[in-house]
Amino acid sequence: MYTASWRDVVRSDLFGASPSRRDRPYRFVIRLALVVFHLFRFRFDVRGSQHVPATGGAIICSNHVSFFDFTFLGLGAISQHRLVRFMAKSAVFGHWFAGPFMRAMRHIPVDRTAGAAAFDAAVRALKDGEVVGVFPEATISRSFTVKDLKAGAARMAMDAGVPIIPAAVWGGHRVATKGHKVTLRRGVPVMVFLGEPIVPEPGEKVQQLLRRIRAAMEALLDEAQRDYPEKPAGPEDRWWLPVHLGGTAPTPAEALVADSARAAGRGPKAAKKSPLQRVTGLLRRR
């Protein structure tokens, strides 16, 4: 497995021979992330990076299990010298600290009350040759399985005429995820798997394409979960495994009920957050 080193942090060729000056803030943030990965000794197993095109637009569609999935997923494109423009909720862009970084990195704000603007911005970025990152489940999966997918990513691929790279991330939820305290532990393995490109076929319907995307994501996630090098330390540590692998995470049906209750304001009141938890809250993608 790969562990970030100081040499990686300072590599002059990390972003290719002639990276754009416009992306200096993004490159700085990536180097900073590599410092964090090094200090916490995250162990990465990144597979399928070759499926990210070296040039041209593409959409990376991934499952979502932790607050830091986007930082891990970006590693899958670095070897191809690509920077991923993630779609993120607009509130993050309005924050006094995170907002300037998000805008400087040219991520794409999503306002749920006016989604057409985000859709159009993403299609323009794709047509301009950018790689756009999407978590089509629209929120973290509490069951640690692939939830129903929103249709936006499939529609964007069709409108922009670009391939979809299915992906799966696994392991980061042991550090920070919904419903559990942030646990800053060292040496956590993180899997980042990218699959073969899925190209919309002539005349294909959105729901047909979505089914192909979901099937590919489920296969990658299943592979990542079964190849994960660590097991729960005991019965109380089985929370991070899905039920079908012997874990105690909520079933998909239970997770759906809990998410619906929280969306309707019937969930349990949130406990007072620590400063660290408030910071990680800013990183939630949905």
Q: Which residues pair with 132 in a beta bridge?
A: 59, 85
For residue range 114-165, list pLDDT tens digits in order.
Answer: 779 999 999 999 999 999 999 999 899 999 999 999 999 999 999 999 999 9
Residue 277 pLDDT class (50, 70, 90 cuts) = very low
Report the alpha-carbon distance of residue 70 to residue 33 in Å, rounded.
11
Q: How many other CB atoms are found less than 10 A from the CB of residue 50?
A: 11
The mean per-residue pLDDT over the stretch 70-97 comes to: 92
Helices assigned H by DSSP within the chain = 6-10, 24-39, 69-73, 75-78, 90-93, 98-104, 115-127, 152-160, 206-227, 252-263, 275-281
For residue range 221-230, list pLDDT tens digits in order.
Answer: 999 999 999 9
Report angle CA 168, 169, 174 to the nearest 5 degrees.
150
Residue 202: phi, psi to the nearest 5? -55, 130
Q: Which residue has the tokens 């692998």?
A: 245
Residue 285 pLDDT class (50, 70, 90 cuts) = very low
The pTM is what? 0.89
Q: How many other CB atoms are found less than 10 A from the CB of residue 87?
A: 25
Residue (of 202, 230, 201, 199) closest to 216 by Cα position: 199
Report the alpha-carbon distance of residue 57 to residue 35 in Å, rounded.
29
Sequence-distant (6+) residues with CB within 8 A of 47 are 191, 192, 193, 194
Task: Give the range with max mean pLDDT: 8-12, 103-107, 183-187, 190-194.
Answer: 190-194
Rounded to 10 degrees, the C-alpha dihedral 99/100/103/108 comes to -10
Given a cut of 60, is residue 273 above it in pLDDT? no
**Burial bucket for residue 85 (CB in 10 Å: 0-12, 13-18, 19+):** buried
The amino acid that residue 70 corresponds to is: F
> Which has the higher per-residue pLDDT, 81 or 285?
81
pLDDT at 267: 60
Residue 3 pLDDT class (50, 70, 90 cuts) = very high
pLDDT at 83: 97
Report the alpha-carbon distance of residue 153 to residue 117 in Å, rounded.
14
pLDDT at 268: 56
User: Strand, helix or coil at 198?
Assistant: strand
pLDDT at 260: 82
Q: How many other CB atoms are found less than 10 A from the CB of residue 243?
A: 16
pLDDT at 197: 98
Given a cut of 70, is residue 219 above it in pLDDT? yes
For residue range 11-68, list pLDDT tens digits in order.
Answer: 999 999 889 999 999 999 999 999 999 999 999 999 999 999 999 999 999 999 999 9
User: Strand, helix or coil at 6?
Assistant: helix
> Which has the higher per-residue pLDDT, 277 or 89?
89
Given a cut of 80, is residue 87 above it in pLDDT? yes
Residue 272 pLDDT class (50, 70, 90 cuts) = very low
Report the alpha-carbon distance of residue 37 to residue 48 in Å, rounded.
20
pLDDT over 70 for what percent of the chain?
93
Q: Which of 54-68, 82-96, 161-175, 234-248 has the lowest mean pLDDT?
A: 82-96
